[in-house]
Amino acid sequence: MDTQTFYSHGKLLITGEYLVLDGAKALAMPCRFGQHLKVTPSSNQSSRWISYTHQKEVWLDIEFDLLSITKQKTESKSDLETRLFQILYEAFQLNPEIFTQNYRFETHLEFPRDWGLGTSSTLIANIAKWANVNPYELLAKTFGGSGYDVACAESGSALIYQLQNQLPKVDLVEIPEVIKPHVYFVYLGQKQNSRSAILNYRKNKPLQLADYISKTNEITSEMLAVESLEHFQRLIESHESLLSEILQLEPVQKRLFPDFEGNIKSLGAWGGDFVMAVSKSNPKSYFESKGYRTILEYSDMAL
């Protein structure tokens, strides 16, 4: 069998953060940046896994016995190895037929690992494709989460993601053209742990979520129908206010950018990674003056 190659897109969660876990509609966006996986059958006595950064530098290089992983007898030397072996083991549980020989695995990221665009979700999606298993099942058995990121991995456009009876429902949508020239993505440099953020949300979420979910769904639907930048900005304010109330956290604009002329929205786990800035004029000089160097226009980030 020849070398197989797989590719998955990174992701950004525009609306419905946290609430998507409880059935809210979430607007999500696949990115231009993703991750490649190359798998080559090997006649060696062991398998090898090599992961490369976006700058083609090796950040993980390990040899292991695939058969030992399927029997859960492999000892891990780091958290990264533990997580990788767990993913491979769970993929084996879902489809044992693919694990009959050793392989050479190579992954290549197109974005810095600390950007939070989906190093893990693109890996899950790629391994699921190679192992011919359901990516949502593999995610549930490993990292957990809503699955919106796995939906983005395969999507060619923005989408509405919703869990209905714990099953994913995906509808492809179009982002209104009127807002695209005014949307920027700014990296805050504070890498967030999604699993920790989810655990914190589950521990502290209000008992009565129905109203919050209903309001979030309305905002998400309205965002896709806006005909003016001002309307979109008002919806961002409403969404940030809603999530601030649930999470008992100060919105990022009040906390870091109170003098910004426009609107700033957290994306995904609050507190780090990328934020979305919306303004009439190009805000790059503003963010650079605050010490933020990674500012991407909509067309640089979105598919």
Lowest-confidence pick of 67-81, 205-219, 234-248, 256-270 = 67-81
Instruction: Report the pLDDT value the prediction gives residue 217, as an integer from 0 to 100.
Output: 98
Residue span(s) of the chain under CATH 3.30.70.890 come to: 180-301
User: Following DSSP, what letter does each residue of the chain receive, concatenated?
Assistant: ---EEEEEEEEEE-S-TTGGGGT--EEEEEEEEEEEEEEEEE-SSSEEEEEE-TTS-EEEEEEE-HHHHHTT-PPPSSHHHHHHHHHHHHHHHH-GGG-SSEEEEEEEESS-GGG-S-HHHHHHHHHHHHHT--HHHHHHHTT-S-SHHHHHHH-SS-EEEEEETTEEEEEE----TTTGGGEEEEE-S----HHHHHHHHHHH--S--HHHHHHHHHHHHHHTT--SHHHHHHHHHHHHHHHHHHHT---HHHHH-TT-SSEEEE-SSTTSSEEEEE-SS--HHHHHHTT---EEEHHHHB-
Residue 232 has pLDDT above 70, yes or no: yes
CATH superfamily of domain region 180-301: GHMP kinase, C-terminal domain (3.30.70.890)
Residue 240 has pLDDT above 90, yes or no: yes
Residue span(s) of the chain under CATH 3.30.230.10 come to: 4-172
pLDDT per position as a tens digit, 98-121: 898 999 999 999 999 999 999 999
What pTM, to 2 d.p., does this model score?
0.94
From CA 219, how far away is CA 234, in angstroms rounded?
10
Stretch 233-262: mean pLDDT, rounded? 94
Residue 207 has pLDDT above 90, yes or no: no
Cα dist from 152 to 38, 144, 303, whole Å: 20, 16, 11
Instruction: Report the pLDDT value the prediction gives residue 192, as an integer from 0 to 100.
Output: 58
Instruction: Report the pLDDT value the prediction gives residue 204, as an integer from 0 to 100.
Output: 74
252: its two tokens: 């990022």
**Conformational region of residue 224, where left means phi above 0, alpha means psi within -120 to 50, and beta covers everything else:** alpha
Cα dist from 109 to 119, 186, 207, 265, whole Å: 8, 20, 40, 26
Nearest to 161 by CA among 183, 139, 129, 181: 139
Instruction: Report the pLDDT value the prediction gives residue 191, as an integer from 0 to 100.
Output: 62
pLDDT per position as a tens digit, 18-69: 999 999 999 999 999 999 999 999 999 999 999 999 999 999 999 999 988 8
Instruction: Report the pLDDT value the prediction gives residue 193, as an integer from 0 to 100.
Output: 63
Residue 229 has pLDDT above 80, yes or no: yes
Instruction: Report the pLDDT value the prediction gives residue 74, as an integer from 0 to 100.
Output: 79
**Conformational region of residue 273, where left means phi above 0, alpha means psi within -120 to 50, and beta covers everything else:** left
Stretch 259-270: mean pLDDT, rounded? 93
Percent of the chain with pLDDT over 90: 82
235 touches 224 (CB < 8 A): no
pLDDT per position as a tens digit, 153-201: 999 999 999 999 999 999 999 999 999 999 999 999 876 566 676 777 8
The burial class, CB within 10 Å (0-12 / 13-18 / 19+), for 131 is buried
* Residue-averaged pLDDT of the chain: 94
**Partners of 297 in beta bridges:** 184
125 touches 87 (CB < 8 A): no
Q: Identify the CATH number of the domain defined by range 4-172.
A: 3.30.230.10
Nearest to 122 by CA among 100, 138, 98, 101: 138
Instruction: Report the pLDDT value the prediction gives residue 67, as an integer from 0 to 100.
Output: 85
Instruction: Report the pLDDT value the prediction gives residue 1, as an integer from 0 to 100.
Output: 62
pLDDT per position as a tens digit, 76-106: 889 999 999 999 999 999 999 989 899 999 9
Instruction: Report the pLDDT value the prediction gives residue 189, as an integer from 0 to 100.
Output: 86
Instruction: Report the pLDDT value the prediction gives residue 200, as an integer from 0 to 100.
Output: 75
Instruction: Report the pLDDT value the prediction gives residue 70, as an integer from 0 to 100.
Output: 86
Nearest to 183 by CA among 146, 236, 225: 236
Instruction: Report the pLDDT value the prediction gives residue 77, as an integer from 0 to 100.
Output: 81
